[in-house]
Amino acid sequence: MRPAARDAGAGSALGATVRTYLGHLAVERGLAANTLSSYRRDLRRYVQVQDGRGRADIADITEGDVRAYLVSLREGDADHPPLSAGSAARALAAVRGLHRFALREGLAAGDPAHDVKPPTPPRRLPKAISLAEVERLLAAADAPSGGDTGTARGLRDRALLELLYGSGARISEAVGLDVDDLDLRDGFARVAGKGGKARVVPIGDYAREAVDAYLVRARPELARAGRGGPALFLNARGGRLSRQGAWMVLRAAADRAHLSEVSPHTLRHSFATHLLDGGADVRVVQELLGHASVTTTQVYTLVTVQLLREVYATSHPRARS
């Protein structure tokens, strides 16, 4: 981004209020670095838009200005592509937080964002693959070099994918694990979820065996290429495997297993769906996934109900006329 665009409004009273608010989020609210980065990016654009509308102080902003900002997010401009409903809602959440803070601190007489509602994203059912497809994917993980199984990379890739499916962890949570976060004897790992919130996830027998094989037979070899470190999953240079690197592992395994439309969240979605199909309580699945609200988890129950309908429609003699 050009320096002029990056610094737009930086010297205004509105820019100063934004910096004060970000400091409040970092120090008093203790928001994670990634979350702060998102807020900073969204609010920087908000300052640019309001600066262009002649609003140099947060006390000058009206409800119409906030609505115009939301419209600009959805429509995009020469420097920004149009945002989806979900991304626009996230950006608006940062703005709403800023105005609540300004009202509470006496920096503005009202909250112009209070009645501005975020756009409703289309409801999409999570994509899950069948157990047979999961097994094909996992089997394909340990073959990074044309079927050469048992290599350091192959053992790492199998351990990574087994852990993702066996625990329901996000890819970012898995690559963030250190060796000391694991307890293979009792079968659990401590992961850092969204907002830095820690939770304990189980590790099943298959994942435990795969991770143990990787730790004993592969990680020491990978670690020799680097300076050492606590990370569980290492790349070829001995450093921590990145989220992008993990995504490439998943994509390569999916290609070898002839599976299409496999995303970084596929194994997490499959973990939740298969648990519910097996009779797990939705609140238990909520805890395992680290969802703050059971409403987020309940979308998976729609997947299982849809499956039941399909089975009924194709199996019951009087399901169709």
Catalytic positions are 170, 194, 265, 268, 291, 300
Cβ pair 138, 158 in contact under 8 A: yes
Both structure tokens of 183: 């307890």
Nearest to 14 by CA among 45, 27, 38: 45
- Locate 100 and state its tokens: 């609540």
What are the angstrom distances between the C-alpha of 252 and each of 17, 47, 137, 205, 224? 46, 42, 10, 24, 25
Sheet containing 188-192: order of strands: 182-183, 188-192, 198-202
Least Cα distance to 226 among 215, 234, 238 occurs for 238
Write down the H helix ranges in the chain.
Answer: 3-6, 13-27, 33-52, 63-75, 85-104, 131-141, 152-167, 171-175, 205-217, 219-223, 243-256, 266-277, 282-289, 294-297, 299-315
The rounded distance, in Å, linking the Cα atoms of 300 and 57 is 44
Which two three-digit tokens encode residue 161?
């994918």
